[in-house]
Copies of this chain bind each other. A is one copy, B any other.
């Protein structure tokens, strides 16, 4: 089954927004084993949207059209579907109630043009997952099926994951089941991983199933994705399980988690298993470390809080850091200890350094001192991290978490 993606929006053509939606959809389609041969961006022009969709339906079995479902005059995807179906757009009373209720819940006045979003061609159905005020549409046509989803990424993703992908799989009737798992790694380059896994990859090239793929993900580390195909899901999953065990043995402590784990969730889980609580003290990361920890559901069982000591006086007054230079491992350790003391935790992490663009205390941007303290130990490192201001801060967060993770693993061994 071939599925094509059409992204609607003049702002995409003008480069005001990078179309990350199509990339994400392409990745999801590949994961469920659906082919995707074309992706098109088209502006807010009814004739051109209809042309693009017609052309896509000629050569593919299904089309996902993303964007143009807002309430304003330049939101034309509904009109395009009506033209494809040869039908008019009619208001749906139930959907009017739904949208009105959504505005009511949020305590906001509903502009009348939002009722546009309740219109649909008779042969289309609303997608039963509706995270925002814009309902999605599914329109079965003689030549194939069109799914219209909003361009707002989180709304689009909820509709795809909650409805469109499974509906496509159902329609495709492909008896092959696919299972995949991603091992998350940190601390080795792509070529380094390639060397470690080369013998196993040569074996898998012979076998043909499962397959491995590397995915360089910047500050998220390197992902190793295992994909297996089999007659049923249980068999595919079992192949993936076996391969994951084998690769974990080969990669050792480089692997910090699987699939939706991230470094924060991995470290929080290790601490929760030990019954420890965590506090952080941040200078150049400015709250990013705490924010990443707090973004893990259930973080509150472990993470008590943090001190963002951006100004040197705050380091001294709240974290008992001595007056003097701040880009040192000694300061990082004092901050981590100060976090434990102030926040009443057993474990403390700290970052201090130079995010840039200017140098500080003679250190170039990217110089970061990090420290971890835990019952029975403490550690500090200085790294020279690559990239701009934001990237340095993100690398600093994952690096200090990995510092703690590795040391706790060593303590266990």
Interfacial residues, chain A to chain B (CB-CB below 8 A): 10-20, 22-28, 30, 36-43, 45, 48, 52, 55, 70-74, 105-109, 111-114, 131-132, 151-154, 182, 189-192, 194-195, 213-218, 223, 225, 280, 282, 284-295, 297, 299-300, 303-311, 313-314, 317-318, 342-344, 355, 357, 383-391, 393
Complex partner residue of A106 from B41, B287, B290, B384, CB under 8 angstroms: B384
Given A11-B215, A12-B39: A310 and B299 interface contact (C-beta under 8 Å) = yes
- A287 with B282, Cβ < 8 A, contacts A18-B23, A194-B113, A304-B313 known: yes
Chain copies in complex? 2
Contact B19 A23 (CB under 8 A): yes
Q: A43-B37, A111-B191 are in contact. Are A30 and B48 (CB under 8 A)?
A: no
Minimum distance in angstroms from A73 CB to a CB of chain B: 8
Residues from chain B with a CB closer than 8 A to the CB of A355 are: 294
Please tell me which one of the listed residues B13, B26, B71, B384 contacts residue A26 in the complex, with CB atoms under 8 A apart: B13
Q: Which of B74, B286, B391 contacts A293 (CB 8 A)?
A: B286
With most chain B CB atoms within 10 A of its CB, the pick from A30, A41, A293 is A41
The answer to whether B14 and A30 touch across the interface, beta carbons within 8 angstroms, is: yes
The answer on a CB contact under 8 Å between A294 and B290 is no
Chain B residue at minimal CB-CB distance from A106: B384
Q: Which of B16, B30, B111 contacts A15 (CB 8 A)?
A: B30
Contacts A106-B384, A152-B218, A154-B391; is A308 near B310 (CB within 8 Å)?
A: no
Judging by beta carbons under 8 Å apart, are A218 and B310 in contact?
Answer: no
Indicate if the CB atoms of B287 and A291 lie closer than 8 Å: yes
Of all chain B residues, which has the CB nearest A314? B305
How far is the CB of A179 from the nearest CB of chain B, in Å? 14
> What are the residues of chain B within 8 A of A25 when measuring CB–CB?
15
Q: Which of B195, B300, B310, B391 contacts A111 (CB 8 A)?
A: B195
